[in-house]
Homo-oligomer: A and B are copies of this chain.
Amino acid sequence: MRVSAKADYAVRAAAELAAAEEGPIKGERLADAQDIPLQVLEHILLELKHAGIVRARRGAKGGYWLARPAEEVTIADVVRAVEGPIAHVQSAPPESIEYRGNAAHLQEVWIAVRASLRTVLEHVTLADLVSGQLPSEVESLAAQPDAWVAR
Protein backbone atom coordinates (compact mmCIF):
# COMPACT_ATOMS: atom_id res chain seq x y z
CA MET A 1 0.00 0.00 0.00
CA ARG A 2 2.70 2.50 -0.83
CA VAL A 3 3.24 5.05 -3.54
CA SER A 4 6.45 4.43 -5.47
CA ALA A 5 9.00 7.09 -6.31
CA LYS A 6 8.16 6.55 -9.95
CA ALA A 7 4.48 7.36 -9.48
CA ASP A 8 5.31 10.38 -7.37
CA TYR A 9 7.78 11.62 -9.99
CA ALA A 10 5.29 11.05 -12.79
CA VAL A 11 2.56 13.08 -11.14
CA ARG A 12 4.95 15.91 -10.30
CA ALA A 13 6.27 16.08 -13.86
CA ALA A 14 2.71 16.01 -15.19
CA ALA A 15 1.81 18.87 -12.88
CA GLU A 16 4.63 20.95 -14.33
CA LEU A 17 3.44 20.19 -17.84
CA ALA A 18 -0.11 21.10 -16.85
CA ALA A 19 1.08 24.46 -15.60
CA ALA A 20 3.13 25.24 -18.69
CA GLU A 21 1.91 28.35 -20.44
CA GLU A 22 3.09 27.56 -23.91
CA GLY A 23 5.21 25.38 -26.11
CA PRO A 24 7.07 22.16 -25.38
CA ILE A 25 9.01 21.94 -22.11
CA LYS A 26 12.42 20.28 -22.08
CA GLY A 27 12.94 17.22 -19.91
CA GLU A 28 15.83 18.97 -18.24
CA ARG A 29 13.61 21.83 -17.13
CA LEU A 30 11.07 19.42 -15.65
CA ALA A 31 13.84 17.55 -13.87
CA ASP A 32 15.21 20.78 -12.41
CA ALA A 33 11.81 22.08 -11.37
CA GLN A 34 10.96 18.91 -9.47
CA ASP A 35 14.38 17.67 -8.48
CA ILE A 36 14.14 14.40 -10.34
CA PRO A 37 17.16 12.60 -11.83
CA LEU A 38 16.99 13.46 -15.52
CA GLN A 39 17.54 9.97 -16.86
CA VAL A 40 14.89 8.53 -14.60
CA LEU A 41 12.48 11.22 -15.68
CA GLU A 42 13.11 10.50 -19.34
CA HIS A 43 12.07 6.88 -18.88
CA ILE A 44 8.95 7.97 -17.06
CA LEU A 45 8.02 10.51 -19.72
CA LEU A 46 8.43 7.82 -22.31
CA GLU A 47 5.93 5.65 -20.49
CA LEU A 48 3.54 8.57 -20.20
CA LYS A 49 3.93 9.10 -23.91
CA HIS A 50 3.18 5.45 -24.68
CA ALA A 51 0.10 5.76 -22.53
CA GLY A 52 -1.05 8.70 -24.61
CA ILE A 53 -0.84 11.18 -21.77
CA VAL A 54 1.96 13.35 -23.11
CA ARG A 55 3.37 14.14 -26.53
CA ALA A 56 6.93 15.02 -27.41
CA ARG A 57 9.10 16.48 -30.11
CA ARG A 58 12.86 16.17 -30.48
CA GLY A 59 15.46 18.67 -31.44
CA ALA A 60 15.94 22.31 -30.63
CA LYS A 61 12.60 23.78 -29.56
CA GLY A 62 11.58 20.27 -28.68
CA GLY A 63 10.19 18.99 -25.41
CA TYR A 64 7.07 17.54 -23.83
CA TRP A 65 3.46 18.70 -23.52
CA LEU A 66 0.17 17.20 -22.41
CA ALA A 67 -1.76 15.33 -25.08
CA ARG A 68 -5.06 16.46 -23.54
CA PRO A 69 -6.17 19.52 -21.58
CA ALA A 70 -5.09 19.43 -17.94
CA GLU A 71 -8.74 19.37 -16.89
CA GLU A 72 -9.15 16.00 -18.57
CA VAL A 73 -6.17 14.15 -17.13
CA THR A 74 -6.59 12.64 -13.68
CA ILE A 75 -3.94 11.56 -11.24
CA ALA A 76 -5.25 8.03 -11.64
CA ASP A 77 -4.40 8.18 -15.35
CA VAL A 78 -0.84 9.14 -14.59
CA VAL A 79 -0.36 6.62 -11.80
CA ARG A 80 -1.80 3.78 -13.89
CA ALA A 81 0.50 4.65 -16.76
CA VAL A 82 3.60 4.01 -14.67
CA GLU A 83 2.45 1.60 -11.96
CA GLY A 84 -0.26 -0.41 -13.64
CA PRO A 85 -3.64 -1.14 -12.11
CA ILE A 86 -4.45 0.40 -8.76
CA ALA A 87 -5.14 -1.80 -5.72
CA HIS A 88 -4.35 -5.23 -7.06
CA VAL A 89 -4.20 -7.99 -4.47
CA GLN A 90 -1.41 -10.50 -4.98
CA SER A 91 -1.07 -9.15 -8.54
CA ALA A 92 -4.70 -9.91 -9.38
CA PRO A 93 -7.66 -7.56 -9.61
CA PRO A 94 -9.90 -7.88 -6.55
CA GLU A 95 -12.99 -8.74 -8.58
CA SER A 96 -11.29 -11.93 -9.76
CA ILE A 97 -10.42 -13.34 -6.36
CA GLU A 98 -12.51 -15.87 -4.49
CA TYR A 99 -12.12 -16.27 -0.78
CA ARG A 100 -12.96 -19.29 1.31
CA GLY A 101 -14.24 -19.90 4.79
CA ASN A 102 -14.42 -17.03 7.17
CA ALA A 103 -12.62 -14.71 4.77
CA ALA A 104 -15.41 -14.91 2.22
CA HIS A 105 -16.31 -11.24 2.54
CA LEU A 106 -12.73 -10.04 2.19
CA GLN A 107 -13.30 -9.55 -1.50
CA GLU A 108 -15.85 -6.83 -0.77
CA VAL A 109 -13.35 -5.12 1.48
CA TRP A 110 -10.67 -4.99 -1.19
CA ILE A 111 -13.25 -3.78 -3.70
CA ALA A 112 -14.16 -1.01 -1.27
CA VAL A 113 -10.48 -0.16 -0.86
CA ARG A 114 -10.10 0.22 -4.59
CA ALA A 115 -13.28 2.25 -4.84
CA SER A 116 -12.12 4.60 -2.13
CA LEU A 117 -8.77 5.11 -3.84
CA ARG A 118 -10.61 5.85 -7.04
CA THR A 119 -12.77 8.51 -5.44
CA VAL A 120 -9.60 10.42 -4.79
CA LEU A 121 -7.33 9.58 -7.69
CA GLU A 122 -9.92 9.67 -10.46
CA HIS A 123 -11.47 12.92 -9.33
CA VAL A 124 -8.39 15.08 -8.99
CA THR A 125 -7.26 16.41 -12.36
CA LEU A 126 -3.89 17.93 -13.13
CA ALA A 127 -5.63 21.29 -13.40
CA ASP A 128 -7.03 20.83 -9.89
CA LEU A 129 -3.60 19.89 -8.60
CA VAL A 130 -1.88 22.92 -10.09
CA SER A 131 -4.54 25.37 -8.95
CA GLY A 132 -4.87 23.82 -5.52
CA GLN A 133 -8.64 23.74 -5.97
CA LEU A 134 -9.26 20.10 -5.15
CA PRO A 135 -12.72 18.57 -5.56
CA SER A 136 -14.82 19.01 -2.44
CA GLU A 137 -14.83 15.31 -1.44
CA VAL A 138 -11.05 15.27 -1.60
CA GLU A 139 -10.72 18.61 0.11
CA SER A 140 -12.81 17.44 3.02
CA LEU A 141 -10.75 14.26 3.42
CA ALA A 142 -7.55 16.31 3.54
CA ALA A 143 -9.13 18.90 5.85
CA GLN A 144 -9.62 16.53 8.79
CA PRO A 145 -6.83 17.19 11.30
CA ASP A 146 -6.79 13.44 11.93
CA ALA A 147 -5.73 12.81 8.38
CA TRP A 148 -2.41 14.53 9.03
CA VAL A 149 -1.26 12.37 11.90
CA ALA A 150 0.62 9.12 11.53
CA ARG A 151 -0.63 5.89 13.00
Query: Does any Cβ of B come within 8 Å of A26's Cβ?
Result: no
State the oligomeric state as a number of copies: 2
Q: Are A102 and B18 in contact (CB under 8 A)?
A: yes
Chain B residues with CB under 8 Å of A142's CB are 108-109, 111-112, 115
Interface residues on A, range: 35 or more
Kindly specify which of A39-47, A58-66, A143-151 makes contact with the partner chain.
Answer: A143-151
A67 within 8 A of B: no
A and B contact pairs by CB, cutoff 8 A, 24 listed: A1-B1, A1-B2, A1-B79, A3-B90, A5-B90, A8-B89, A8-B90, A12-B99, A16-B102, A19-B101, A34-B100, A85-B150, A93-B150, A95-B150, A102-B130, A104-B132, A105-B130, A105-B134, A108-B134, A108-B142, A112-B134, A113-B120, A115-B146, A116-B117
State the 4 A-B residue pairs at the shortest beta-carbon distance, nearest first.
A115-B147, A19-B102, A12-B103, A112-B141
